[in-house]
Chain A
């Protein structure tokens, strides 16, 4: 299992992501954004979190024009598996690889805390180790995590089972920290090979650090 992790100027979660996937037994490589290719043997490409280009203009807006993004788009369009976490999710929506957009949090504050999430659709490679309705406890840390999609788009997401996770409380009741449409925390594309979420599973790998619920999420990308 080879995991390639993108690094833009301002990315700051690439080493946490590397730690998480190494812990699960993967080979990892960090790819600087100026690279025009991604390694041929990549099984999973991760767009890591952070603040690419200082979030200038809009979160993820400048990163989509980095040289590496052409290769990412080709890789994704050929069925390659891509995971965008936090800023990575924003980059993938800006690049048009995932539907919707991420707006400023409704309460305008940067939110950094653990939050419960309910698995909405586990019939995909990412969440296959979990079941629909499972609750995980994963850190969130974002200013622009307010997921927006119009009504027609939302209906499409629901029909195609593209909603991965929703923000809830520990019992699974909706609890929306940032104003996201339908309390959505993560989505995938129609072909279910491109995934994006605001919460940070790579920061939930050790019980001693609050939660290891990220393990069963990221494990999904490995052959079972």
Chain B
């Protein structure tokens, strides 16, 4: 069993309105050291697979086809 953790974020340069709103909220709470906030989503997949290379290429395909919209989003994959 391999667990894959996929993080999906809006691309750099694509305005993240939620991140901006949270940044403002943190600022008004007095956390002035925050320079930037990006909000994304995490998708955790349990794979019935033992070959890490195969798992990586499968999950990459999943990201390209469904899990991320690559017009506006970037993703990274971590296998654990």
Chains A and B bind each other: yes
- Residue numbers of A with Cβ under 8 A of B are 57-58, 61, 65, 93-94, 100-101, 103-108, 146, 148-149, 179
A17 to B1, CA, bound (A): 48
**Measured CA separation A115–B69 after assembly (Å):** 28
Distance A138 CA – B50 CA, assembled complex (angstroms): 54
Among B5-23, those with CB < 8 Å from A are 10, 14-15, 17-18, 21
Contact of A101 among B21, B67, B71 (CB under 8 A): B71
For A103, list chain B residues within 8 Å (CB). 10, 14-15, 17, 72
- How many angstroms from the CA of A58 to the CA of B18 in the assembled complex? 15
B66 touching A148 by the CB < 8 A rule? no
User: Which B residues are closer than 8 A to A by beta carbons?
Assistant: 10, 14-15, 17-18, 21, 66-67, 69, 71-72
Q: Select which of A93, A94, A100, A108 is within 8 A of B17 by beta carbon.
A: A108
Q: How distant is the Cα of A100 from the Cα of B70 in the complex, in angstroms?
A: 10
11 CB < 8 A contacts A-B? A57-B66, A57-B67, A100-B71, A103-B15, A103-B17, A103-B72, A106-B17, A107-B17, A108-B18, A108-B21, A148-B14
Q: Looking at chain B's contact residues, is the secondary structure mostly helix, strand, loop, or mixed?
A: mixed
Report which of B18, B21, B67, B72 forms a contact with A148, defined as CB distance below 8 A: B72
Interface centre among B17, B18, B21 (most CB of A within 10 A): B17
Q: Check B69 against A94 for contact (C-beta < 8 Å).
A: yes
Query: Does the CB pair B17–A104 fall under 8 Å?
Result: yes
> Who on chain B is nearest to A149 by CB?
B71
Whole-angstrom distance between the Cβ of B57 and the nearest chain A Cβ: 20
Asked if A58 and B15 sit within 8 Å, CB to CB, the answer is: no
User: CB < 8 Å: which of A65, A93, A104 contacts B66?
Assistant: A65
Q: How far does the alpha carbon of A153 sit from the alpha carbon of B72 in the complex, in Å?
A: 12
**Which residues from A are CB-within-8-Å of B18?**
104, 108
Contact at A101–B69, with CB atoms within 8 Å?
yes
* A104: B residues at CB distance < 8 A: 17-18
Bound complex: CA A104 to CA B17 (Å): 8
Contacts of B10 in A (CB 8 A): 103
